Amino acid sequence: MASAVTVDYLSSVLKILMFESDPDNTVAVDISWQDFRDFESFLCTLFHSVGTGTVVSFAILGNPQSNGGGTDVNIKSHALASQPDAVGDWVFLECLASEFPPLAVTTLRYVSANYDPGTSTDEFISTYVFGQPKFAFGGLTAQVIA
């Protein structure tokens, strides 16, 4: 029987996105709001690419609006016991749809990683990994070349 999943197996069952973040301030930053509706798990990384400052906070937020314009709900926060304060350091967080507040998994359709840089000159790279899609298909993870 032929498989419905292409030869590119992981890119058919995971949606992977990457973002560069250079906020030039020390205010908490939403990295990118993405639709979580069709997935059961979400993992995000925060990779320190420039600078030696600390990270004040790192969290996964849920929001009912695609632009994050609604009320944010903190789904999970990182304890940051060890600071990612050097280039090459990275931390990650993950959550399941079941960790959303009761009934909120349908209203908090969008997720974003959120971090508060301790130094305005630091830069970060973030990777989002959405897993356990309701429907796997080829091209779920797309290549991006500018």
pLDDT in tens, 50-99: 999 899 999 999 999 999 999 999 999 999 988 899 999 999 999 999 88
Asked whether residue 83 is assigned to any structural domain, the reply reads: yes
Instruction: Supply the range of the domain harboring residue 63.
Output: 10-131
What value does the mean pLDDT take over residues 5-24? 86
Tokens of 74: 């903190």
Asked whether residue 1 is assigned to any structural domain, the reply reads: no
Tokens of 106: 């349908």
Summarised one tens digit per residue, pLDDT across range 110-146 is 999 999 998 999 999 999 999 999 988 888 888 888 8
Distance CA(33)–CA(66), nearest Å, equals 6
Q: Residue 106 has what pLDDT?
A: 61
Total count of domains within the chain: 1
Q: Residue 8 has what pLDDT?
A: 79
- Report whether 115 contacts 58 (CB < 8 A): yes
Question: pTM, whole model, 2 decimals?
Answer: 0.90
CATH number at residue 62: 2.60.120
Helix, strand and coil in the chain, % to nearest 5: 10, 40, 50
Asked whether residue 36 is assigned to any structural domain, the reply reads: yes
Backbone angles phi, psi at 94, to 5 degrees: -145, 155
Q: Residue 5 has what pLDDT?
A: 54
The more confidently predicted of residues 48 and 141 is: 48
Q: Residue 104 has what pLDDT?
A: 60
Distance CA(9)–CA(97), nearest Å, equals 23
Residue 1 has pLDDT above 80, yes or no: no
Distance CA(129)–CA(16), nearest Å, equals 5
